[in-house]
Structure 1
Amino acid sequence: MFLDVLRRRNPRFIEAAQALHREGRIPANAYVIDLDAIEGNARILKDEATRLGLKTFAMTKQFGRSRSACRAIMRGGIDSAVAVDMACAKATHRAGMKVGHLGHLQQVARAEADGAASVLKPDYWTVFNETKAQEAAAGAKAAGRVQNLLARIHAEGDTFYRGHEGGFAAADIVTVANWLDSLDGGRFAGITTFPALLFDHQARKVLPTPNLATLTKTAEALAKAGRSDIEINAPGTTSSVLLAALAEAGATQCEPGNGLHGTTALHVVEDLPELPAMLYLTEVSHLSGGKAYCFGGGFYIDPIFPDYDVKAIVSAEPTVAASALRSVEVPPPSAIDYYAMIDATGPAAPRPGDTAIFGFRGQAFVTRAYVVGVSGISADAPKVETIENTAGETAAWPV
């Protein structure tokens, strides 16, 4: 699905990745990042957010918290990250980014709260309940600081992915805010939810969820109680063209993730300002029964999309030609993706060692893929900057 957009909008990226793989500089089973493009995308998002008065925190999980990608994003003007979990927080901290937001989506485990408060020192920390708020405040107090706390809220009719539920009742927000302010080491700073925006397949547009209206209504209740200077964190399906809608709804913070590498669902149906900047690369291992088996480990077919014909560019030479496209059977999520199976019938059948290029709306952090940052593509001088695991640590490759 994203391969069509990649071929049309960033063909030099595909060809550079293929050439580097042919030269033995990029491993199979790797998410590859166009660092020039991701820097440009970050600048587009940051400039629009600044124009609208929005704070911007980069989500890094999709590209495996790559250090070189984090640095490219910082060069683009975004110096803070949102950490979806403690692994994100530690990786982006090592890369030199500030931890702008911690605790959303995943809360911080009890034994990690003190270290998070004293070492990571997040600007904002989301809490789902009183216990987690007390742990965050106690950690901050021990570190000699006061922690800005965001209350995760929910109301009847709000939309949450299964397993993402939790938070305070929006109707109780004034009481919650007063209680958070009473904590030694903590202060109430604002409210958050997820997702605030969501792609609608039928409309082929990104639309506000009921959660965004809940944020707006809850902010109004806080204003009536005398709390007008609060943060409203509204993540979900973030591209530069959608930031105005968030600002209009009262949001003060945005958290681009797939938008940084041009792979939100909206990027499939519209040419947005951000360029596609991430692909998945692997290679053919062997042939069997009319199929070319390519190395797996990083396949992630996002369940937000209906089933579609997955294709790959399979070639021994750099190319984006339609003639190199082949259909691929990817193992279902219930299986381990040791291999995917490429159609090997007809002329110019794939051979062992051929490069295979895929375009996914990636979630590298849930895979066992390598993550490779490549600079210089825009200047036709590609250079591998980092080869890492999905925790942003240097990988032992080739051995």
Structure 2
Amino acid sequence: MFLDKTVRRNENIVKAAFELHQKGLIDPDTYVLDIDTLLENAKNIKNEADRYGIKLYYMTKQIGRNPMVAKELDKLGYEGAVVVDFKEAMGLIDNHINIGHVGHLVQIPANIIEDILKAKPKIITVYSVEKAKQISQAAQRLELTQNIMLRVLDEEDMLYPAQYGGFYINELLQKVSEIISLPNINITGITSFPCFLYDEEENNIIPTHNVVTLNKAKKLIEENFNIKLTEINMPSATSVVNMKGIALQGGTHGEPGHALTGTTPYHAYNDAEEIPCMVYVSEVSHNLKGESYCFGGGYYRRSHMENALVGKNFHEAIKVKVEEPSLESIDYHFTLKSNTNVGDTVVMAFRTQIFVTRSHVAIVKGISKNTPEVIGIYDSQGRKIK
């Protein structure tokens, strides 16, 4: 999906991937992150956000919940990490990462709420009155007050499978009445997901119906209760090109994820401000009946794998078609639609969510100067590998 774009816009990362693998410095099933370019992307995103008064949480799940990158993003002035589930939250807390937004795609389990509250997240998203009560009770025990955000939805909104939850707009006033009576919590925001998506026909990032619901919910809450909402969080496709769109739709916060690595769908078709800075590295394992098989482990079902470069180095590599594994199969290997040499390096670039893979993540600096240096290798959950 991103191979040609990456070769054209960041050739050095592809060269580095071949070199690091052939030298034995990284193993197959490793994602290589060009940290210098990633941080430059992050700066450009934040500069544009500042221009429109948008505050940003950064996502780490796409890059394997990596604490080294997270610490650098904290230094740039981001509002902290948006953690999509409690496991990510606890991992980043253990690494002393600033927690910004927690509880959106996955709610916090009851027995972990106190641990999360002790980390003083800026805001917690809740889907139910029951979860708000649990947070209220935990906040009382800890003698603190926690800001919360309601996830709101309507029948016409778009929701991804396995991500259902929140307050329907037609029951919002009743639910808010119950929640504002709870001690030690304040409703300060609302959110939904996805609020923006790339439209291939228009070749642009456009708002979804979820944004209509957010603005309707804001009006309902502020006109019926003594509440001023300070966070209208509009995640998805948060990038330089969409910052103005967030502001125009009334958003106050965004959550860049794939934009940090230049790998949103918009980036696949456009030379956006953000430069692609992540590739996947494997190795040819064996050949069989005119096809090659390279080591797997890094597959994500929405990856849109298409091609790989295969060889001992970038200049001699050949482009080979890749066959994605079937959904019912474990990705022990990826199929290359040509015979290649056993032991050769395989480099791909596709959409991923590293945290759901078995992959390693190599953080590499100096790529733009042709002096690549591995400064850390981590597993897919952000744990450092010795």
Q: Which moved more, 1:218-227 or 1:146-155?
A: 218-227
* Equivalent residue, structure 2, for 1:114: 114
Matched, 1:314 2:304: no
Percentage of identical aligned residues: 35
| Distance in 1, Cα, partners of 2:223 & 2:129 | 24
1:67-216 map, 5 Å? 67-78=67-78, 80-118=80-118, 120-216=119-215
Q: CA deviation at 1:67?
A: 2.1
| Distance in 1, Cα, partners of 2:95 & 2:264 | 24
Matched, 1:354 2:353: no
Q: Is the 8 A contact 1:41 1:261 kept in 2?
A: yes
* Equivalent residue, structure 2, for 1:335: 329
* Equivalent residue, structure 2, for 1:217: 216
The CA deviation string for residues 135-164 of structure 1, in whole angstroms up to 9 with x for no partner, is 122222222211101011111201101221
Matched, 1:232 2:232: yes
Matched, 1:259 2:249: no
The CA deviation string for residues 236-258 of structure 1, in whole angstroms up to 9 with x for no partner, is 11111101111111111100010
Q: CA deviation at 1:330?
A: 2.2
Task: Name the amino acid aligned to 1:250.
Answer: G
Q: Is the 8 A contact 2:261 2:275 kept in 1?
A: yes
* Equivalent residue, structure 1, for 2:45: 45
* Equivalent residue, structure 2, for 1:15: 15
Task: Name the amino acid aligned to 1:388.
Answer: Y
Q: Is the 8 A contact 2:30 2:360 kept in 1?
A: yes
Q: CA deviation at 1:68?
A: 2.2
| Distance in 2, Cα, partners of 1:259 & 1:92 | 20
Q: Is the 8 A contact 1:41 1:76 kept in 2?
A: no
The CA deviation string for residues 40-88 of structure 1, in whole angstroms up to 9 with x for no partner, is 1111111111221112100110110112222332344325100000122
| Distance in 1, Cα, partners of 2:330 & 2:160 | 23
Unpaired runs of 5+ residues, structure 2, are none
SS of the residue 1:43 aligns to: helix
Q: Is the 8 A contact 1:141 1:184 kept in 2?
A: yes
RMSD value, Cα = 1.7
* Equivalent residue, structure 2, for 1:384: 374
Q: Is the 8 A contact 1:238 1:264 kept in 2?
A: no
SS of the residue 2:380 aligns to: coil
Structure 1 residues 75 and 356, CA gap change in structure 2 (3 angstroms): farther
Given candidates 350, 359, 370, the residue that maps to 1:369 is 359
The CA deviation string for residues 241-279 of structure 1, in whole angstroms up to 9 with x for no partner, is 101111111111100010111100000111110111111
| Distance in 1, Cα, partners of 2:319 & 2:125 | 45
| Distance in 1, Cα, partners of 2:287 & 2:94 | 42
Q: CA deviation at 1:185?
A: 1.9
Task: Name the amino acid aligned to 2:328.
Answer: S
Q: Is the 8 A contact 1:57 1:255 kept in 2?
A: yes
* Equivalent residue, structure 1, for 2:284: 284
Q: Is the 8 A contact 1:301 1:361 kept in 2?
A: no
Q: Is the 8 A contact 2:148 2:188 kept in 1?
A: yes
Structure 1 residues 381 and 96, CA gap change in structure 2 (3 angstroms): farther
| Distance in 1, Cα, partners of 2:19 & 2:166 | 48
Q: CA deviation at 1:168?
A: 0.9
Q: CA deviation at 1:218?
A: 1.5
Structure 1 residues 157 and 79, CA gap change in structure 2 (3 angstroms): closer
| Distance in 2, Cα, partners of 1:391 & 1:180 | 34
SS of the residue 1:279 aligns to: strand
Q: Is the 8 A contact 1:115 1:139 kept in 2?
A: no
Q: Which moved more, 1:10-19 or 1:374-383?
A: 374-383
| Distance in 2, Cα, partners of 1:12 & 1:74 | 26
| Distance in 1, Cα, partners of 2:263 & 2:67 | 19
Task: Name the amino acid aligned to 1:334.
Answer: E
Unpaired runs of 5+ residues, structure 1, are none
Q: CA deviation at 1:208?
A: 0.8
| Distance in 2, Cα, partners of 1:99 & 1:26 | 30
| Distance in 2, Cα, partners of 1:373 & 1:78 | 20
Q: CA deviation at 1:192?
A: 0.7
SS of the residue 2:117 aligns to: helix
If the length of structure 2 is used for normalisation, what is the TM-score?
0.95
If the length of structure 1 is used for normalisation, what is the TM-score?
0.92
Q: How many residues align?
A: 385
Q: CA deviation at 1:109?
A: 1.1
| Distance in 2, Cα, partners of 1:392 & 1:135 | 29
Task: Name the amino acid aligned to 1:392.
Answer: G
| Distance in 1, Cα, partners of 2:314 & 2:262 | 22
| Distance in 2, Cα, partners of 1:10 & 1:221 | 47
Q: Is the 8 A contact 1:146 1:185 kept in 2?
A: yes
| Distance in 2, Cα, partners of 1:360 & 1:177 | 42
* Equivalent residue, structure 1, for 2:244: 244
Q: CA deviation at 1:301?
A: 4.3
Q: CA deviation at 1:395?
A: 2.5
